[in-house]
Chains A and B, each alone.
Chain A
Amino acid sequence: MATNNEVFQSLIEAIIKHQELIIGPLAWSEAKSVVGLETKGDKVFVSGDGKAVLEKLVGKYEALFGQASVEACKDAVRPLLSSSKTDLPEILK
């Protein structure tokens, strides 16, 4: 069974890859600057509170690109949420 952080790791990875389709490599460079988030190639590693890290990442994109980017994040995680009961940050609800 996946740990909580592993679940958030999957969600964060899905968001970054989805954002990469829209804004290209900028998606990864913005993600790297989020505290608690480390990237190696196309893999991500979360340390600390996964939910908080996720919230910061989405906030980063929102600050740059507005509400449209938040909707894009929601689209990215939706397929993964249907099989789990993850406690999402408010921004993604």
Chain B
Amino acid sequence: MPQNSDEYQSITKELYTKNVDLVNANKVLELIQALYEIMITSYSIESISYRFINTIADKLGFSDGLVVVPSSDGKSLEISGLTQSELNKTIMEVAGVATVNFRFDIKDQQNLLTNVYSTGKQRNTKKIYEVWTPYMKYGDVAGMDNQLILVYPIVYGQDILGSFALISANRAGLTDFEQRALDRIVTVFGIAMDRVKINERLEQAHERELAKAREIINLKDEFVFIATHDLRTPVTAIKGYSDLLKPEMEKMSSDIQEDFDAIYQSAERLDQLVEDLLEVARSESGTIYIETKPILVKEVIDRAVSEVSTIAKKKKVNITVNLYDDNCQILGDKEKLNEIFENLLSNAVKYNKEGGSVTLTSSLDVGGNVKFEVSDTGIGVPENLQEKMFSKFFRARQPGTEGIPGTGLGLFVVRMLVEKMKGTIKFESREGEGTKFIFYLPVAV
């Protein structure tokens, strides 16, 4: 317990001093918090510089401040942030130069900003012209000397990212609190600048990659379009003349017939590939045209079944069709619908076992769409390959698929056409047991 009033006085003063320390510590924390908020909401060097220097000057009671950073060629320092003060306005008028045109030559060590940037060492002065030289000489602005001018480097790790100056009249030096605050500010400033530079570099890299990717996509699309158009003519010629020769080939020996069959099938495969590529190219360039008319589904299915009947017969695969209504109509494009069924039925036969079966059914779902299912008893697709089923040029290479012809574009085209007709498609598959494709198309009301 204090024994007398002197002791009380002493305790009171001690407590007061501790409270001052607490208040100053709080102020430093508040300032750092304000700077942190600026750091996470600023995305350019100019924004960080301007907001930082104005906040620091305001909170610490400095009348003026500026920030400089290296120019893109690294030969000079340019102003990235400035307080909107009378002194700075006066200096601009005296120098006759707009803010954006100030360049401080890095080799000019008479200027404190460049000196501090080059050496990484903090400097003080009372002479304002030492911050603005060569744009100002001593005495250019009357009564503007004898200020407290502090110049700090902006440092991050081993790198010096710039420098900044704080200017104040009417004070001789810094209090402990201000000194501690500035020591922390210098660190935060460096972190903030570095963060923005990394963001800027990432954005530039991202822009470059995007531009590259766009260029590649455009080149690819152009290539596919031109190549398929240029391929069409010779392929059409090969198929056309092969069709003409077919009846004559039947009179030839079996060896010659076998060779001719190989040519004919290759021509057919090439023709299909060109058609698929053209379809893909048209879809991706937005030039594909899809009709939207009522289509009698049975008619289209009968045609598709007939088109795959030859290969089905060869493999002894039985195709069964069960429609909920023979007069069912959907809204869509007849030719594209035929392509969908032909692709799905063709796959169901090609990937089926000898003597297997294919079933095509239809039903009306609660959403008012027609649900189609094409299922087979074929080799199925391994689970690890199923996510790629609808990808371009994907072909599941597994035992049992050797020698099966295909372009790898069939299912990609099927999905594209179903979606263009406002439908959806999915599939279920078990390796060794078979696959079922299910798709929905809007019913024609």
A-side interface residues toward B, CB under 8 Å? 21-23, 64-66, 68-69, 71-72, 75, 78-79, 81-83
Q: Which of B16, B61, B63, B169 contacts A68 (CB 8 A)?
A: B16
- Interchain CB contact (< 8 A) of B16 among A66, A75, A82, A83: A66
Q: Report how far A20 CA is from B126 CA in the complex, Å.
A: 33
Interface string of B7-24 (1 = CB under 8 A from A): 000001100110110010
Q: Mark B412-435, 1 if CB is under 8 A from A, else 0.
A: 000000000000000000000000
For B17, B61, B170, B177, the residue with the greatest tally of chain A CB atoms inside 10 Å of its CB is: B170
A68/B20 contact (C-beta < 8 A), A75-B175, A82-B61, A82-B63 known: yes
A-B contacts, 18 of them at CB < 8 A, read A21-B23, A22-B19, A23-B16, A64-B12, A64-B16, A65-B16, A68-B16, A68-B17, A69-B16, A71-B20, A72-B20, A78-B61, A78-B168, A78-B170, A78-B171, A79-B61, A82-B63, A82-B170
When chains A and B are docked, how far (Å) is the Cα of A75 from the Cα of B23? 12
CA distance A75 to B20 in the complex (A): 11
- What's the nearest-Cβ distance from chain B to residue A74, in Å? 8
List of A residues within 8 angstroms of B177 by Cβ: 75
Please state if B168 and A22 are interface contacts (CB–CB under 8 Å). no
Minimal Cβ-Cβ distance residue in B for A86:
B170
Within 8 Å by CB of A65, from B13, B23, B168, lies B13
CA distance A81 to B171 in the complex (A): 9
Q: Which residue of A lies closest to B19 (CB)?
A: A22
Partner of B13, one of A68, A75, A83: A68
Hey, what's the 0/1 contact readout for B160-204 against A, CB within 8 Å counting as 1? 000000001111000101000000000000000000000000000
Cα A21 to Cα B19 with chains together (Å): 9
Residues of A within 8 A of B12 (CB): 64-65
A23 contacts which chain B residues (CB < 8 A)?
A: 16, 19
Q: In the complex, what residues of B have CB within 8 A of residue A81's CB?
A: 169-170
Residues of A within 8 A of B169 (CB): 81-82
Residues in B with CB closer than 8 Å to A79 are 61
- A31–B294 Cα gap in the complex (Å)? 92
CB distance from B22 to the nearest CB of A (A): 8
Residues of B contacting A78 with CB < 8 Å?
61, 168, 170-171
A78 to B13, CA, bound (A): 23
Residue numbers in A under 8 Å from B62 (CB-CB): 82
Determine the distance from Cα of A69 to Cα of B168 in the docked complex, in whole angstroms: 22
Chain B residues with CB under 8 A of A72: 20
A21-B23 Cα distance, complex, nearest whole Å: 7
Separation of A69 and B17 alpha carbons in the complex (Å): 8
Q: B141-173: which residues lie under 8 A (CB-CB) from chain A?
A: 168-171
Closest 8 CB pairs of A and B: A79-B61, A65-B16, A66-B13, A82-B63, A81-B170, A22-B19, A78-B61, A68-B17
Known interface pairs A65-B13, A65-B16; A71-B170 also in contact (CB < 8 Å): no
Min Cβ gap B44→A in Å is 29
> Once the chains are docked, how many angstroms separate the CA of A53 from the CA of B259?
117
Q: How far is the CA of A82 from the CA of B147 in the complex (A)?
A: 10
Chain B residues with CB under 8 Å of A68's CB are 13, 16-17, 20
Cα-based distance from A22 to B143 in the complex (angstroms): 36
- Taking CB atoms, residues of chain B closer than 8 Å to A71 are 20, 175
Complex CA distance for A23 and B17, rounded to whole angstroms: 10
- Which residues on the A side are within 8 Å of B23 (C-beta)? 21-22
Chain A hits for B170, CB < 8 A: 78, 81-82
Residue of B nearest to A82 (CB): B63
Query: For the complex, what is the distance from the CA of A55 to the CA of B170, rounded to whole Å?
Result: 18
Q: Are B20 and A22 in contact (CB under 8 A)?
A: yes
What residues of chain B lie closer than 8 Å to A75, measured between beta carbons?
61, 175, 177
Q: Note all chain B residues with C-beta closer than 8 A to A69.
A: 16
Bound: A72/B24 CA distance, A: 10
Q: B310-326 vs A: 1/0 string, CB under 8 Å?
A: 00000000000000000
Contacts of B17 in A (CB 8 A): 68
Quick one: closest A residue to B169, CB to CB? A82
Q: Which residues of chain B from 73 to 116 have any CB-CB distance to chain A below 8 Å in the complex?
A: none
**A89 to B432 alpha-carbon distance, docked (Å):** 99
